[in-house]
């Protein structure tokens, strides 16, 4: 028996039972290193998930008016009621000057832009917490969430703008070529809203006080902006301080694009563009530094 085993061992290479060992095939190695760029904004990754962005936008629109009697008519009712109240209180009783425009048009042209900005900030600041289950389960660029919450209110803005144009025709006011400035004004307002949201969203993930204090801060910000009154009533000595509010230049520019009349203050408009750009860039830096811990903290 031993002789036969020894013979089989010597003859093993012929039978494929043993033989020289082959070296293991080298496997590819992927090295993951931290991105040392100050702003590591991956636009290609966001574009890759554009389908998710579109789904979130549509879902926000459906959820907002689901099981409501008026549906999307609330996009019309809210600014109309606000304009009516402001017209009675500030236009009829307080008789606040409006630089020659009917008070309903004067207030309405500012309210529709402000409503878009306020809604974008409100939704974006709490959007990360609202999407907690989605963030914990799958990977996607977290920037998609604030982008979706800034884009979706534009539908309400478009509806309110159509109503505003109809109201202007009722007053016998026809828009001039200045209306072309409404698009870049809206774009800068969206930049400002996104910049503010990129700061408030990550802070709200760690400190849930944001959702409680935000409505109060938005209300103060509204009265610090030329919505119910004209910026021309602000004394010249403090006009430059007042213009540091980025919504001052944007509201004046949008009102000019809709109603014409007095051109916006170029200093206030430059401040608006500068603040929106700075908040957007610094917000992207802050957001990308904080998003690594969203799934753990949220």
pLDDT tens-digit series, residues 230-288: 988 999 889 999 999 999 999 999 999 999 877 888 999 999 999 999 999 999 999 98
Given this model, what pLDDT does residue 32 score? 41
Given this model, what pLDDT does residue 113 score? 96
Whether pLDDT at 198 is above 90: yes
Given this model, what pLDDT does residue 9 score? 45
Rounded to an integer, the average pLDDT of 19-45 is: 56
Pick the more confident residue, 183 or 232: 183
Whether pLDDT at 43 is above 80: no
Least confident of 40-54, 182-196, 252-266: 40-54
Whether pLDDT at 14 is above 60: no
Given this model, what pLDDT does residue 129 score? 85
What is the rounded CA–CA span in Å between residue 61 and residue 149? Answer: 10
What pTM was estimated for this model as a whole?
A: 0.82
pLDDT tens-digit series, residues 104-159: 999 999 999 999 999 999 998 888 888 888 888 888 888 999 999 999 999 999 99
Pick the more confident residue, 199 or 45: 199
């Amino acid at each position: 028996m031993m002789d036969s085993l020894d013979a089989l061992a010597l003859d093993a290479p012929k039978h494929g039972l043993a033989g020289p060992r082959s070296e293991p095939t080298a496997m590819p190695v992927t090295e993951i290193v931290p991105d040392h760029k100050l702003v590591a904004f991956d636009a290609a990754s966001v574009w890759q998930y554009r389908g998710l962005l579109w789904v979130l936008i549509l879902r926000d629109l459906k959820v907002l008016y689901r099981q409501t009697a008026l549906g999307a008519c609330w996009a019309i009712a809210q600014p109309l009621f606000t304009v009516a109240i402001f017209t009675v209180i500030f236009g009829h009783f307080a008789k606040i000057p409006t630089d020659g425009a009917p008070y309903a048009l004067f207030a309405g042209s500012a309210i529709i832009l402000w409503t878009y900005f306020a809604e974008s900030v409100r939704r974006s600041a709490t959007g990360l917490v609202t999407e907690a289950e989605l963030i914990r389960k799958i990977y996607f660029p977290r920037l998609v969430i604030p982008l979706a919450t800034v884009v979706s209110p534009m539908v309400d803005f478009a509806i309110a703008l159509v109503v505003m144009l109809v109201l202007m025709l009722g007053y016998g006011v026809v828009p001039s070529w200045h209306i072309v400035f409404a698009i870049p004004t809206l774009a800068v307002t969206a930049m400002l809203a996104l910049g503010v949201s990129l700061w408030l969203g990550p802070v709200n993930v760690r400190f849930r006080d944001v959702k409680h204090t935000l409505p109060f801060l938005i209300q103060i910000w509204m009265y610090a902006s030329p919505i119910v009154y004209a910026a021309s009533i602000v004394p010249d000595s403090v006009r430059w301080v007042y213009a540091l509010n980025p919504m001052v230049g944007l509201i004046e520019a949008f009102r000019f694009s809709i109603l014409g009349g007095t051109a916006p203050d170029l200093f206030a408009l430059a401040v608006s563009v500068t603040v929106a750009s700075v908040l957007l860039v610094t917000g992207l830096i802050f957001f990308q530094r904080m998003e690594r811990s969203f799934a753990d903290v949220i």
